Structure 1
Amino acid sequence: MQHKIGIFYGNLSLDISEDSPWRMKRSGFCGMRSKKFDGFMDLDAYDMVTMKLRGDGRCYISTIYTENWVNSPAQEEDNSWQAFVVAPKDEWHVVKIPLEQYLPTWRGNVISSEMEMNPARVVGMSLSVNAEGGVPGSKSGPGDFSLEIDWIKALRTQN
């Protein structure tokens, strides 16, 4: 059986066409999300998310979605926790993100709160990219992007 990878790629544009049938307030963003899990993925026994990636030098955003109990209880939206990911250009690299580095966010903005993620109630994950912002020194701005994903795993590093 041949080993397969996922490729997240496209072109980021900051243009907003006045002729567009879509109501857009901003542009320059692209994301991909897992299907909502049937039940929950329990990451409570783990302390880190690891990914084997080959990138383009851009900063990407890893998001973990947990059962909603903070942002808008009784609503359909999940809580989102985000961390930056930078994969070196044209090199396979294993990225390790401690779960404690994922920050609570609402519509891409960090929430000022003393909340803690409930890793036992994960309902989905995503990767996204934005033309603006990110980690200093990483590639940014409009243009092509490409991120190859070999695998994503949960890891336990502490006893």
Structure 2
Amino acid sequence: MSRFRGIWQASLNATKKALTWNVDDWIPPAEKYIFNFSSKEELKKWHLYSDAEFGGLSSASLEIKDDANKSSGVFSGNLSRDVTEGTKWNITRSGFCGMRSKKFDGFIDLEAYDTIALRIKGDGRCYISTIYTENWVNSPGQMEDNSWQSFVFVPKDNWYIAKIPLDHYLPTWRGNVIEAKLEMNPSRILGMSLSVNADGGVPGANSGPGDFKLEIDWIKALRTQ
């Protein structure tokens, strides 16, 4: 077979293959695992933070719980409004803890999805789900990622799947909502976090200083439409 005829045949075969593709081959799966808290190895993808970094007295831990051949993550600790006497930090508020994922290797693209789902067992407190995206909202020169936040609240002591539409996440800067009409870019997600505050939250949720505990099975992206 001549070189020209070989190129022509390869092109013809590729065209035939393209024409026989099913439309389903172009559609992403209906759900995508982002985090699965099934082993201690998964915990290496996260780090903890709290007001203790700034002179506060709150504390947190993240562990794996094994129960009847099923593992889950346990984010727990204690919230305190107190601050260390004589601290050098001019802390304006205390009583918060969080777990933040380490940055992804590049970005994860959730453009094809419209909802974040978390399978969790709560303690009656309200938690905050945060998505971090590439910085395009903050002022030039600021190195902080953009953050988008939504409350997460489920009834106490039972497993539930909490679903949060992506368009329910509000743009925030250092915990304060940005009063501007902005849209998240779900194709440039850098990381996520879950956090809890002693104050605030949704009506009916427990609040105040004291112990907290949130069990987490997985976090997924869903396509519901």
Amino acid at match of 1:86: F
User: What's the CA shift string for 1:125-148, capped at 9, x where partnerless?
Assistant: 000000000001100000000000
Structure 2 unaligned segments of length 5 or more: list them. 1-37, 39-68
| Equivalent in the alignment of 2:3 | none
Provide the rounded CA distance (Å) in 2 between the counterparts of 1:30 and 1:42: 27
Provide the rounded CA distance (Å) in 1 between the counterparts of 2:129 and 2:148: 8
Provide the rounded CA distance (Å) in 2 between the counterparts of 1:90 and 1:127: 18
Q: Secondary structure, in 3 states, of the residue corresponding to 2:187? A: helix
Structure 1 unaligned segments of length 5 or more: list them. none
User: What's the CA shift string for 1:47-104, capped at 9, x where partnerless?
Assistant: 0000000010100000000000111334321000000000211000000000000000
| Equivalent in the alignment of 1:19 | 86
Amino acid at match of 2:72: I
1:9 equivalent to 2:81? Answer: no
| Equivalent in the alignment of 2:160 | 93
1:115 equivalent to 2:217? Answer: no
Shift of 1:21: 5.8
Of 110, 124, 136, the residue aligned with 1:69 is 136
| Equivalent in the alignment of 1:103 | 170
Higher RCO, 1 or 2 (CA under 8 Å, sep at least 6)?
Answer: 1
**Structure whose CA Rg is larger:** 2
Of 205, 208, 213, the residue aligned with 1:141 is 208
TM-score (norm 1): 0.94
TM-score (norm 2): 0.67
Say which structure is richer in helix: 2
Amino acid at match of 1:147: L
Answer yes or no: is the 8 Å Cα contact 1:60–1:86 preserved in 2.
yes
Amino acid at match of 1:33: R
The RMSD of aligned alpha carbons is: 1.4
Amino acid at match of 1:30: C
Shift of 1:42: 0.4
Of 124, 143, 167, the residue aligned with 1:57 is 124
